Structure 1
């Protein structure tokens, strides 16, 4: 975790007002909680007004409290334990309507993703993916779901998609052994970040492959060294990873690449429909036990 912000706040302590010192001390000692508090909540917690919190943010060099809050969140992005994440979830939601709160948080993540993802990087990634010799996709833990989703649809567009699916570093490198120039490596990782994904990205880059990183922050370890960085906001505070915004970004990537490969898509689905018709994919038949079973 970067200590620059905390050190800067500490260095300014003597110049703060009494109320600002209370805010500063709370942030230094409880940054994991402060990162997810509104200005009003932080003020209530330390016993000052919301306007004092807003002025404090300006005093330490930010345009407003939201920018200060995001900076604190960046500091702790990969540091929260499962217990801390559970505490933050309880703090954010409490006894309120869980459905409304969670969906509201997800809407905000999609909005921020749209604001923060570079359209230039997105377009360049689409171009490079469309012309790649081979496409390698890797996601570990909860990101494995995203990698599988991307691989499933890319397999309808390309013949050269390889989902790196492994539980060990040695097997991962075995599956990526032949990656090289002209290939694409798509690494997906969200807090808590995967060391294996970081190693795979470095290997792909060293071998001359083009690297696309799908992650949540420019400070993410897989952002470093990426040729194309696609940012999607996740909720690393919740004890359940919120992957709505990353999934939306990946969905957009699939659609954009698909529009580049319209002919291939048409051919693929025409062939699939012929197979479905020939083999009666949707026909009800008796299984071995004499029970009706719809094979689809």
Structure 2
């Protein structure tokens, strides 16, 4: 695992220390020592904490190569998020306290995450994901812990538009057996959310060893599975969650399914007709035409 100083945002600061002004070094030292405080600070608050001007803060993040203070905070947020325990998260600002409007806070954070996704979405990456989903004979969708919820959602949705979909639980060691027995050319999609279960890292490594195409959907550029992936889709969060956020990754999943379904090819139509027939014959779904409406 990476040490504190090896994370990109902290490494950026330490590598630039010698080139920074004395006030810039004060900022750098403060952030390295207090990342969990700094990540929640505005430029004004950080400047006051370090005894410098706001202009110094702006020049500091520019010197590190960030387009703006918001980009720097996002990188710092990703770093802080990977190291927080559950007790740490409970103590985060806004999680608890008298008068806290929980529903309002959750909605605002999800809206901010969706806005960030809208502004940063890699349309080309989505198109490549869809192309792989359309052309691969077999697809294995994997998640673990929180991310298994998303993996099941993606896998279940895929079964409505194509055949050959397998949903694997990363915490089940037989997932390795399934990947080892997968046909040549299989597509593997792993969904990984902070705090990144080790079993998913192992499965990503196994997939690469078997020369399978690996796509990763995650919530941060610091996700340790990215190094193994052929392609990656990132749904970043602007806030640090207690457990996790769902709207951004769910939106990516919906987009992939809609793009795939939009192709409306003959094979998909035949597949859906067979599914509907099986539902009808086995009375799987409520059918208003076959049920007595009277209580």
Tell me the TM-score normalised to structure 2 length.
0.82
After superposition, where does 1:51-90 map in structure 2 within 5 Å? 51-58=55-62, 60-90=64-94
- In the other structure, the counterpart of 2:152 is 148
Q: Aligned pair 1:101/2:108, yes or no?
A: no
Aligned residues of 1:128 and 1:184 also touching (Cα < 8 A): yes
CA distance in structure 1 between the aligned counterparts of 2:248 and 2:136, rounded to whole angstroms: 26
Deviations, residues 202-240 of structure 1 (Å, cap 9, x unaligned): 222221211111012333211112111111114672212
- In the other structure, the counterpart of 2:232 is 229
The structural deviation recorded for 1:57 is: 2.9
* 1:47/1:64 CA distance change after superposition, 3 Å: same
Aligned residues of 1:32 and 1:80 also touching (Cα < 8 A): no
Unaligned runs of 5+ in 1: 286-291
- In the other structure, the counterpart of 1:137 is 141
The structural deviation recorded for 1:148 is: 0.5
Aligned counterpart in structure 2 of residue 217 of structure 1, from 216, 220, 223: 220
- In the other structure, the counterpart of 2:248 is 245
Unaligned runs of 5+ in 2: none
CA distance in structure 2 between the aligned counterparts of 1:234 and 1:94, rounded to whole angstroms: 25
The structural deviation recorded for 1:180 is: 4.4
Tell me the TM-score normalised to structure 1 length.
0.82
CA distance in structure 2 between the aligned counterparts of 1:60 and 1:266, rounded to whole angstroms: 52
The structural deviation recorded for 1:51 is: 4.4
- In the other structure, the counterpart of 2:164 is 160
Q: Aligned pair 1:175/2:175, yes or no?
A: no
* 1:216/1:93 CA distance change after superposition, 3 Å: farther
CA distance in structure 2 between the aligned counterparts of 1:235 and 1:67, rounded to whole angstroms: 10
CA distance in structure 1 between the aligned counterparts of 2:65 and 2:130, rounded to whole angstroms: 37
The structural deviation recorded for 1:63 is: 3.6
Aligned residues of 1:192 and 1:236 also touching (Cα < 8 A): no
Aligned residues of 2:214 and 2:231 also touching (Cα < 8 A): yes
- In the other structure, the counterpart of 1:289 is none
After superposition, where does 1:123-134 map in structure 2 within 5 Å? 123-134=127-138
Query: When the two structures are aligned, how many residues end up with a matched partner?
Result: 284
* 1:58/1:6 CA distance change after superposition, 3 Å: closer
Aligned counterpart in structure 2 of residue 260 of structure 1, from 248, 259, 263: 263
CA distance in structure 1 between the aligned counterparts of 2:146 and 2:60, rounded to whole angstroms: 37
The structural deviation recorded for 1:22 is: 5.4
